[in-house]
Amino acid sequence: MTTTPGGVGRIRPRRLRATPAMRRLVAQTRLSPAELVLPVFVHEGLDEPRPIAAMPGVVQHTRDSLRRAVAQAAEAGLGGVMLFAVPRVRDAVGSQATAPDGILNLAIADAVAEAGDALVVQTDLCLDEFTDHGHCGVLAADGSVDNDGTLVRYADMALAQAEAGAHLIGLSGMMDGQVGYVRDALDEAGRTDVALLAYAAKYASAFYGPFREAVESQLVGDRRTYQMDPANRREAALEVQLDVQEGADVVMVKPALAYLDVLADVAASSPVPVAAYQVSGEYAMLEAAAANGWIERRRAIFESVLSIRRAGADHVLTYHALELAGWLAEENR
């Protein structure tokens, strides 16, 4: 092989990095708006959107501003929206989660009416926003979360969300057997058309902190008895396998950035599409560092979501979805 005096041979990888056009041509991972899902919060009884202090740029929506956000998401070509709701009244069993006039079910109907077939309207199926104790399920007499009793509530929630028009129901509570129980309930009600997103590998993470403010969480204690231990990698494979066997149409890894190894494992083996959630704490860290001038904001946001796609996510839930879609549109002009 002919070499230069410096010992460099004919193989020069830098040739494929020489220009923006060349880098675009050979890029191995790409982003498009259709792979992005925007999480949104709607708060019962608000007269105007309310900023969330820990998540600069994100708000608790009114029903009217939610519709506008959904319209923007559709116009931007996003893949979907994920709806979370904050009720005014909470109780031990999360009654407002299943009330036809509960804020989440009204928001689902609003979003579906606004988006039509332009977006996948995804919904959070969990009790934590609706309970006065803040846990993701109903409590047993000893104060522990009652797994099987919670499944009954989840089935009722799924039927209410399906009736409101949800396209993809996100089971985020990490109860054993939740996917199969909800799938059976939907099928028995003739709702075989409604798809299920299983938060299959959801870890008990410190990165959910700002989300707790966003939904005004009432939680005392933690969720380590049902969400996964951050120390465990292989356990995610079991959780995914069980959820797929029970009928999950899509599986999720959450959080995303701190669990890219888990995401890559799941993506390599899952027979169904894989989602990943760039959670509130990950969003807040990027925004805080950028606000202090420590990172270049646009590049860091783009790179962080690209890394999640590169690890294997088919689509990404991110609070930066609308902004990213705008940047991608600029690049493609």
**Which pair of tokens denotes residue 240?**
């995914």
Which tokens sit at 143? 């104060």
202 given a catalytic annotation? yes
CA pair distance 6, 206, nearest whole angstrom:
49
Q: Is the dihedral of CA 182, 183, 186, 187 positive or negative?
A: negative
How big is the CA angle at 117 (ends 48 and 41), to the nearest 5 degrees?
A: 25
254 is catalytic: yes
Closest CA to 178 of 196, 159, 205, 160: 196
- The active-site residue, picked from 254, 309, 315, 320, is 254
Q: What are the structure tokens assigned to 81, written together?
A: 């929206």
Kindly name the residue from 90, 183, 202, 309 that is annotated as catalytic.
Answer: 202
Which residue's entry shows tokens 């797994």?
147
Distance CA(59)–CA(86), nearest Å, equals: 12
Tokens linked to 286 = 């990027």
Task: Name the residues annotated as catalytic.
Answer: 202, 254
